[in-house]
Amino acid sequence: MDIAFWDDEFSEKLEDLKASIAALGNLQGPAKSQALKKCETRVSDITNKTRRTFCMEMRQLGRESKTPYQQKLDKYDQDLQKLKVELQWASKDALMGGRKEVVNTSTDGVTRDTMLQQTHVVQDKTEQSLARSLAEANEMNQIGEETLVKMNEQTDQIKKINEQLDNMDSELSKAEDIMKSMIRRMMTDKLVLLFIGLIIFGILGIIIYVAVKPEQGHQQFNIPPQVVPGEG
């Protein structure tokens, strides 16, 4: 079942209750008492089941979809409140025996019309209070929805930050591996250069030694004596 079903259900039950209350004026005695009990049962069913389920279904809607159903709920609540008042008057009328004459309820001569007028005043105040409560509830719902949206946005931002940190860790690991590889290459290059340097210094040493002491150098390093041109 969805919100449309309970919308139709709410509307139909209110119309049935309205027709049943209107029909009470044509009843008398036990028949009227039984009809009153049935109306009271219907009021309880509408309040505790139909309206509650309608509200539960409405909470599952998005903000734009919820607005027209919230307006319908406000109208249904007003109609239900009026029907409750009419049912209360019908119950009092049944207790009074259905008399239509003026009923003196106090020493100052308050008539039924006056009582009805006072009831309408109270009803108007009740409707205004209900409207304010509904407006406050709607405002709280809107604040809650906005808070939820902000929390979702912050959650998305945190996820993005975590992803960026993971990427940075990966890049740092790659950079560290590259640095280690470069250091190993540099160490290898230094060893090669050192070895080449030792060879060069060795050769230079031999050359210098032979230049300083040619006779000993020739004998020590088995270098043949230089052939002097013109000698045979």
Lowest mean pLDDT among 11-25, 125-139, 191-205: 125-139
At 216, is the pLDDT very low, low, confident or very high (cuts 50, 70, 90)? low
Which residue do the tokens 């043949």 mark? 224
Residue 145's CB is within 10 A of a number of other CB atoms, namely 13
Residue 45's CB is within 10 A of a number of other CB atoms, namely 13
pLDDT of 169 above 90: no
Q: 54 vs 7, 35, 200, CA distance in Å?
A: 7, 26, 97
Q: 215 vs 210, 224, 226, CA distance in Å?
A: 8, 10, 11
Q: How far is residue 31's CA from residue 81's CA, in Å, rounded to a whole number?
A: 24
212 contacts 221 by C-beta, under 8 angstroms: no
pLDDT score recorded for residue 232: 46
Question: Residue 213 corresponds to which tokens in the numbers above?
Answer: 């002491």
Residue 196 or 212, more confident: 196
pLDDT of 1 above 70: no
Share of the chain above pLDDT 70, in %: 84
Query: Which residues contact residue 60 at a Cβ distance below 8 angstroms, ignoring those fewer than 6 apart?
Result: 3
pTM summary value: 0.42
Tens-place pLDDT, residues 52-61:
999 999 888 8
Tens-place pLDDT, residues 142-161:
888 888 788 888 888 887 88
The crossing angle, in degrees rounded to 10, of helices 214-221 and 112-212 is 110
User: Quick one: 108 exposed, middle or buried, by C-beta within 10 A (0-12, 13-18, 19+)?
Assistant: exposed
Q: How far is residue 69's CA from residue 42's CA, in Å, rounded to a whole number?
A: 22
217 contacts 210 by C-beta, under 8 angstroms: yes
13 contacts 76 by C-beta, under 8 angstroms: no
61 contacts 3 by C-beta, under 8 angstroms: yes
13-23 residues labelled b (16+ CB within 10 A) or e (exposed)? bbeebbebbee
58 contacts 66 by C-beta, under 8 angstroms: yes
For the chain, how many residues are written? 232
pLDDT score recorded for residue 94: 76
Is the Cα dihedral 118, 119, 120, 126 positive or negative? positive
Residue 193 or 99, more confident: 193
On average, the pLDDT of the chain sits at 81
